[in-house]
Structure 1
């Protein structure tokens, strides 16, 4: 098998294992806090929010630094660094003695996190440019399928063995996936030598000077902001549409069908990105998510909501892979990991702020109003892509297409 294809399939499987493991624990963090002695409902909600966000806060802060290290030492090294680090800190979480130690371990886990972004960086830089869209789409399918399976596996383990065991199993799974990468992934990496050291701010200015990288950072932030603004609060809306006894089941179905649809379309939309341009797939996918979000505000039955979430999932498969493909095409040579490092920070920031501001919107205008707000944000995002990204992206895509045609053309001696 060609080296880049072998790397891709190994990383798809490894990402599936890692995301399955990580999502085993997320739904049970509030319940684990109760086991650690936090019983007051008001205090519990504050601790749960802080502990959920802690991981993303430190990941947001350290992502540019790890991006710089990736350009210096290779993306495979960053996958190994993250995998071994997360395996350690998540396993230690099973020994937490109270909410403070749990918070500290989540902060430390965020510092070393980055298995998925580093995998994206390795695949995008070691895959032929004309196949990057397909590769990143397939990689996302591995992540999404893991996110679907993880909570189900975690629920079974927690019910049978308790919450602490879930953390140990999670650490073991991440360790296994990391060893798979260590022994089987081969990276073609040549570091670009730089004469002088530069600050993170100077690197950010240099990278974003190249159009339309800064706009793509804004786009990825707004995508995460809009999507994550709804997802954590969806169960509250399901509660309005069904009986208390079935809330958990239908909330799980509404989230799972969206992930399943995302998994189905990511590789196909990735292929379409390679043929027609990731910029066009990004625009129409965002339009789809925005337009299917609006009818959710008017549903009267839980199955109407589930059908709309499935349609949204079909469109979601074209968002992050398309943005990451465009970032790869516009990243300065030798600074690909740093370019992804800043984009990951933008993604983590959107993941942090989306649920927080989404909760404020719900308290002000209700959960139905939140669907309009998120649709509006995505429509603004479409305008940003059309005005700021499309001209440059069309030019780069055309140049790459001409280059490939000239390369493939038979030579005449």
Structure 2
């Protein structure tokens, strides 16, 4: 088996687990914060929002930094650092005595992340051109599926084993990722003994700045769209469901439908993009995703919502691979890690922004407007991609 294929298997498992580690805390946070002695409902909501959001904000800041370190020291050291550090930090969350220590550990978790950035850079730089779309498409399923399935998995583990064990089990799995990475990931990396350029110089060396900005914004809009429904999912399912005894479970299934569809679609759409071009897949996926959001506002029961969320997952499965493939193709190898770091920052900001957008729009306008506004953002983005990416890459044969 070729080295990049072995690395792909380990990276997929590692990204899946680290993504779960980032997102699994969402359904258990309020319960754990109450366990730590906070009894006021308003304070529980406030601390939950801070503890959940701070990880993604800090991750957005540090992703380019770890991307730069990956370009300088190699990708494998960054994989080992991130998996071991996250394993220890998440495991330690099970021992905290108050909510403030929990928030500090969530902040540190955001600082130490970077596994996904290093994995994506490693696979992008190792994989030959003919298989890049399939490899990056397959890899992208790990991050999205882990993020979308994480809340469901966290809720299940909490119910089956207790709140603290969510952290212990996730931390132990990340240590297994560290061991697997150490033993099985191989990298031929030659360190360049030269001064690391500033981010300004790196950006000046990007040959397609306008194209790169469009791709980063598209990734931000995609993740924002996927997570805009997260804060309102349980409430929306509750309104749609006649049986209120299993609302949390049904909401988890609805939310996870997108992740399951993404696992199915991303490798296949990545493979197709190798043949017809990732810019065509990106444009088509944005249009379909934007349209699929609209009927979600008019569904009559949770199963109809689940069906359209599954369709959304199929469409979004073509977006993340397209983003990664385009970044790989238009970025010089020496700065690939840093640009992928910016891409991950855009994704983390999208997760946070989507959660805030969904909650605020629902509170002031109503749940159904979340779908209308998100659809509008995706379709506007599709128009932008058509003029800035699709038409440009059809004229310039760089894909």
- Scaled by the length of structure 2, the TM-score of the pair is 0.93
| Counterparts in 2 of 1:201 and 1:399: CA distance versus 1, 3 Å | closer
Trace 1:372-387 onto structure 2 (pairs within 5 A): 372-387=372-387
Trace 1:149-164 onto structure 2 (pairs within 5 A): 150-151=150-151, 153-164=153-164
- Equivalence for 1:404: none
CA distance in 1, matches of 2:144, 2:88: 24
CA distance in 2, matches of 1:10, 1:309: 28
- Equivalence for 1:98: 98
| Counterparts in 2 of 1:256 and 1:176: CA distance versus 1, 3 Å | same
User: Does the CA-based 8 Å contact 1:211-1:330 persist in structure 2?
Assistant: no
CA distance in 2, matches of 1:49, 1:372: 24
More divergent stretch after superposition (353-362 vs 369-378)? 353-362
- Scaled by the length of structure 1, the TM-score of the pair is 0.90
CA distance in 2, matches of 1:391, 1:117: 29
**Unaligned runs of at least 5 residues, structure 1:** 401-413
**Rg bigger for which structure?**
1
User: Does the CA-based 8 Å contact 1:254-1:309 persist in structure 2?
Assistant: yes
CA distance in 2, matches of 1:12, 1:24: 18
- Equivalence for 2:184: 184
CA distance in 2, matches of 1:11, 1:344: 16
Q: Report how many residues are paired.
A: 398
User: Does the CA-based 8 Å contact 2:158-2:165 persist in structure 1?
Assistant: yes
Q: Which runs of 4+ in 1 moved over 6 A?
A: none
| Counterparts in 2 of 1:148 and 1:336: CA distance versus 1, 3 Å | closer
**Aligned-pair distance for 1:108?**
0.4
Query: Residue 25 in 1 paired to residue 25 in 2?
Result: yes
**Aligned-pair distance for 1:387?**
1.2
**Unaligned runs of at least 5 residues, structure 2:** none
Which digits, 9 at most, give the CA deviation of each residue in 1:26-63, with x for residues without a partner?
A: 32111111100111111111100000001011111111
User: Does the CA-based 8 Å contact 1:22-1:170 persist in structure 2?
Assistant: no
**Aligned-pair distance for 1:392?**
4.1
CA distance in 2, matches of 1:20, 1:57: 17
**Aligned-pair distance for 1:207?**
3.0
CA distance in 1, matches of 2:228, 2:108: 25
| Counterparts in 2 of 1:107 and 1:399: CA distance versus 1, 3 Å | closer
Query: Residue 239 in 1 paired to residue 218 in 2?
Result: no
- Equivalence for 1:325: 325
Pairwise CA RMSD: 2.0
**Aligned-pair distance for 1:189?**
2.4
Trace 1:2-401 onto structure 2 (pairs within 5 A): 2-147=2-147, 150-151=150-151, 153-192=153-192, 194=194, 196-207=195-206, 210-243=209-242, 244-394=244-394, 398-399=397-398
CA distance in 2, matches of 1:17, 1:109: 14
| Counterparts in 2 of 1:191 and 1:158: CA distance versus 1, 3 Å | same
- Equivalence for 1:407: none
User: Does the CA-based 8 Å contact 2:290-2:376 persist in structure 1?
Assistant: yes
| Counterparts in 2 of 1:388 and 1:148: CA distance versus 1, 3 Å | closer
| Counterparts in 2 of 1:55 and 1:236: CA distance versus 1, 3 Å | same
